[in-house]
Amino acid sequence: MCPQTVGLVQGALEQAGVTTTGVTCVAEVSEIVGVPRALDVPWPLGFTMGEPNNPELQRAVLMQALALTDRDDIPVLESFEFSGPG
**pLDDT at site 14:** 93
Q: What are phi and psi of 56, to 5 degrees?
A: -65, -45
Residue of 29, 21, 16 whose CA lies nearest to 74: 21
**pLDDT at site 40:** 96
- Chunked into runs of 10 residues, the chain (86 residues) has average pLDDT values of 84 94 93 93 92 95 97 94 74
DSSP track, 8-70: HHHHHHHHTT----EEES-HHHHHHHT-SEEEE-SS-TT-TT-STT-HHHHHHHHHHHHHGGG
Taking the C-alpha atoms of residue 48 and residue 25, their distance in angstroms, rounded to an integer, is 6
Q: pTM of the prediction?
A: 0.88
